[in-house]
Amino acid sequence: MSAESAGAAGSAGAAGSAGTAGSAGTAGLTGTTLLFCPADRPERFARAADSADLVILDLEDGVAPPARPAAREALVAALPTLDPARTVVRVSPAGTQDFAADLAALDGTGVRLVMLAKAESAAQVERLAGFAVIALCETARGVLAAPELAAAANVVGLMWGAEDLVAGLGGRSSRFDDGRYRDVARHARAAILLAAGAHGRQAIDAVYLDIADLDGLAAEARDAAASGFGLKACIHPKQVPVVRAAFAPSADEVAWARRVLAAAGEAGVGVFAFEGRMVDAPILRHAEHLLHAVESVAGR
């Protein structure tokens, strides 16, 4: 499928020569937006990189299989012009011939961030030693393995994908006609968010395929931000400012956060009343997250 969505893999040594991954946390994942760009469209790379906080150059489903060798060549040729701190390469699923070819192409390029398509186990992620990895959980096994994937030392984030997941289950669509996710997709979304949070990794929300429906995108992005996702992936440049705005707290939210934190400092107790509501440690953390979100959005 599009941005959502047999041979031995390349050696860990080959992967290791491409860069050095952070050992934990969310290193390398800054801002709130990622934008997919097919690796066989090098004329789009610069615009994509300028649009979003992170660009994902896609060697997997965004490129037809016959075009993948040329896509690898185009990607490698363009990498010196791109910021390695803001460039992610999506590689094919572990164990496929394309996975081995993708790693061979990246050897020695300086790429730091890799997204592993259809990630399903920590053993697969370990084959990407030397890279900081975003594990894309878009199969039933991948969703169920989310805690194991999040615990892997070189994983910096988890992303989920609805369309491949539902297709793999034999389903027909991930959403109802009104745009709401079906229960299985909602479960997967929550599972990835919880696994990422439990291990201090960044959680990335899935793409929104209806490019024309910017209102629906904005609502989904606001929900993602409120729930705890740190970023949301996009498939078109015009989605990026919508997502960025949705992740930015409103002026009223920022003002409330500053007031309640100031009141907490004055109260000097664990629980106190503020503007008619009880406030305790979790509420103060909500306020801190709002102010941190301001910094994340302003970082671009």
Q: How far apart are CA 55 and CA 98, in angstroms?
A: 21
- For 7, the token pair is 């041979």
C-alpha span between 152 and 60 (Å, rounded): 22
Based on the structure, what is the number of domains in the chain?
2
Q: For 98-117, what is each residue's pLDDT tens digit?
A: 999 999 999 999 999 999 99
Over residues 111-133, mean pLDDT: 97
247, 265, 281 - which closes a domain: 247
* Domain match, 203 and 260 both: no
Task: Examine the pLDDT at 300 and tell me if it is beyond 50.
Answer: yes
234 in a structural domain: yes
Q: Which of residues 214, 231, 247 is at a domain's end?
A: 247
- pLDDT interval class at 299 (50, 70, 90): low
Residues 200 and 123 in one domain: yes
Residue 84: pLDDT band with limits 50, 70, 90: very high
**Same domain (yes/no): 172, 267:** no
Asked, for residue 1, whether it belongs to a domain, the answer is: no
Q: What is the CATH number of the domain that holds 227?
A: 3.20.20.60
**Is residue 279 assigned to a domain?**
yes
Statement to judge: residues 74 and 133 lie in one domain: yes
Give CA 119 to chain center in angstroms.
Answer: 13
Q: Where are the beta strands (DSSP E) in 80-199?
A: 87-91, 113-116, 132-137, 155-160
* Dist. CA 165–CA 247, nearest whole Å: 25
Structure tokens at 181: 């996710």
Position 5 in a domain: no
Phi, psi of 212 (to 5 degrees): -75, -20
Q: Is 275 annotated as a binding residue?
A: no
What's the pTM? Answer: 0.84
Query: Which residue's entry shows tokens 């994937």?
Result: 149
Are 154 and 57 in a shared domain?
A: yes
Q: Does residue 273 sit in the same domain as residue 210?
A: no
pLDDT tens-place string over residues 215-268: 999 999 999 999 999 999 999 999 999 999 999 988 888 888 899 899 988 888
Whether 6 maps to a domain, the answer reads no
Confidence of residue 135 (pLDDT cuts 50, 70, 90): very high
Specify the pLDDT at position 1: 40
Average pLDDT, the chain: 90
Q: Locate 275 and state its tokens.
A: 């503007």
pLDDT of residue 26: 58
Closest CA to 3 of 243, 224, 207, 210: 207
Give the residue, 77 or 266, on which the prediction is more confident: 77
The predicted pLDDT at position 27 comes to 61
Whether residue 201 is found in the same domain as residue 279 = no
Q: Tell me, yes or no, whether 211 and 282 share the same domain.
A: no
What is the span of the domain harbouring residue 280?
Answer: 251-298
Residue 3 lies in a domain: no
Q: 3-14: per-residue pLDDT in tens?
A: 443 333 333 333
Q: Is residue 2 part of a domain?
A: no
Structure tokens at 177: 């006609």
Percent of residues in the chain assigned helix, strand, coil, to nearest 5: 45, 15, 35
Place of tokens 């090098």: 42
Angle, alpha carbons 206-212-213 (nearest 5°) = 65
Q: Confidence band (pLDDT; 50, 70, 90) for 67?
A: very high
Does 109 share its domain with 213? yes
Question: Where a domain ends, among 247, 262, 282?
Answer: 247
* Position 222 in a domain: yes
* Cβ burial 75-108 (10 Å sphere, 16+ → b, else e): bbebbeebebebbbbbbbbbbbebbbbbbebbbe
- Model pLDDT for residues 171-225, shown as the tens digit of each residue: 999 999 999 999 999 999 999 999 999 999 999 999 999 999 999 999 999 999 9
Do 84 and 164 reside in the same domain of the chain? Answer: yes
Lowest mean pLDDT among 20-24, 63-67, 188-192, 277-281: 20-24
Same domain, 242 and 285: no
288 annotated binding-site participant:
no
Residue 137's DSSP bridge partners are 160
227 and 275 part of one domain: no
Query: Is residue 61 a known part of a binding site?
Result: no
Residues 227, 229, 233, 236, CA torsion sign: positive
Q: How far apart are the first and last CA of the chain?
A: 30
